[in-house]
Amino acid sequence: MPLDTDQRPVILTGDRTTGPLHLGHYAGSLRNRVALQHSHRQYLLLADTQALTDNAADPAKVRRNVLEVALDYLAVGIDPAKTTICLQSGLPALAELTLLYLNFVTVSRLERNPTIKEEIQARGFGRDIPAGFLCYPAAQAADITGFKATVVPVGEDQAPLIEQTNEIVRRLNRQIGRAVLPEARALIPSVGRLPGVDGKGKMSKSQGNAIPLSATPDDIRDAVRRMYTDPNHLRAGEPGTVEGNVVFTYLDAFDEDRAAVEALKAHYRRGGLGDAAVKRRLEDILQALLAPIRERRAALAQDPGYVLDIVRSGTRAARERTQATLDEVRSGLGLLAFERIEDRACALRDSTAA
């Protein structure tokens, strides 16, 4: 095997293949990933097995969206020559790591995870929580550590999951007696989590409140028009509230002219600035941001074979890396490698005979 001389810090992040990506992903994570791929060794995981944890009744959706999410990656500027794009279900080492990690976390700790709690509620599982869903933080720990990633660019909602990963890492390292696995840090942009266009909760594929990166100009116009503002700001002349006003939250996330946004906020607070004018500015910005992404995406969608080949070769490379981590963890925990059992049995016999 060639000597691994790449000393750059490793990034692992990814997305569930539950639908095309949206502006929340862009602000929360994709933007960072595009910038960091030059200075880091970056792996992006198409998390199809994680997507099954709450979509077991619709595996076709999970499969279909592998291509959609890969298209989104390439359309926003992920360069497959710099970033390895891989498919979670093609990496069996991650599944085995998950199984091992489940012994280093308790059910009550999983139930206390604030992200999981919130997601269980949003999905209306009641008492019927799929076990795979409750345990997905352990799988996520396997994803991150399987690549020995130390940097995880994610949205704010993911912070408790990184914390839980590090807890598992510490327990496992303590058990093994040396730092086999590195701890990871979440890289969270100042935008935090982008709310949905309705202002209720975060923008999410599963909640129908998203502007996808592939939105048409008309979709964008409609979404901005119905965007939640200040419900008490009925006349342009009256003062309005900026906090919780989705249009301003989006301007904060996507308008690069900070001074202009601050001036608009002051004007809105003072009164004399109508919602329609602020929305016009936001619409212009979103149209300009999404037009080139949409065009690149449409061009790539003409050649799905090319995109899936990228995923296939990325998965092959990732398989080696994750298998190497699994081997280390297995041996750290004293599990015999199956193909070596015979050798060891022989070694044992020889040493007793001597």
Binding residues for ligand ATP (CB under 6 A): 15-16, 18, 24-25, 27-29, 154-155, 157-158, 193-194, 202-206
CB of 80 to ligand ATP, least distance (A): 19
Sequence-distant (6+) residues with CB within 8 A of 77 are 34
- Cα angle value 191/234/220 (rounded, 5°): 45
Nearer to ligand ATP, 118 or 183 (CB): 118
DSSP for residue 195: B
Nearer to ligand ATP, 33 or 96 (CB): 33
Q: Residue 299 CA to chain centroid, in angstroms?
A: 24
Nearer to ligand ATP, 194 or 285 (CB): 194
Sequence-distant (6+) residues with CB within 8 A of 132 are 52, 53, 56, 139
Measured distance CA(211)–CA(286) in Å, rounded: 10
CB of 25 to ligand ATP, least distance (A): 4
CB of 65 to ligand ATP, least distance (A): 9
CB of 249 to ligand ATP, least distance (A): 10
Measured distance CA(120)–CA(116) in Å, rounded: 6
CB of 79 to ligand ATP, least distance (A): 19
Q: By beta-carbon distance, which residue lies closest to ligand ATP?
A: 28
Nearer to ligand ATP, 196 or 240 (CB): 196
Rg of the chain over Cα atoms, rounded to whole angstroms, equals: 23
Nearer to ligand ATP, 158 or 322 (CB): 158
CB of 78 to ligand ATP, least distance (A): 14
Contact 158, 185 (CB under 8 A): no
Nearer to ligand ATP, 12 or 285 (CB): 12
Nearer to ligand ATP, 184 or 273 (CB): 184
- Phi, psi for 76 (deg, rounded to 5): -80, -10
DSSP string, 200-222: SSB--GGGT---BTT--HHHHHH
CB of 338 to ligand ATP, least distance (A): 34
Contact 202, 209 (CB under 8 A): no
The distance between the two most distant Cα atoms of the chain, rounded to a whole number of Å, is 96
Look-up: residue for tokens 């499969």? 63
Nearer to ligand ATP, 154 or 300 (CB): 154
Contact 246, 229 (CB under 8 A): yes
CB of 115 to ligand ATP, least distance (A): 9
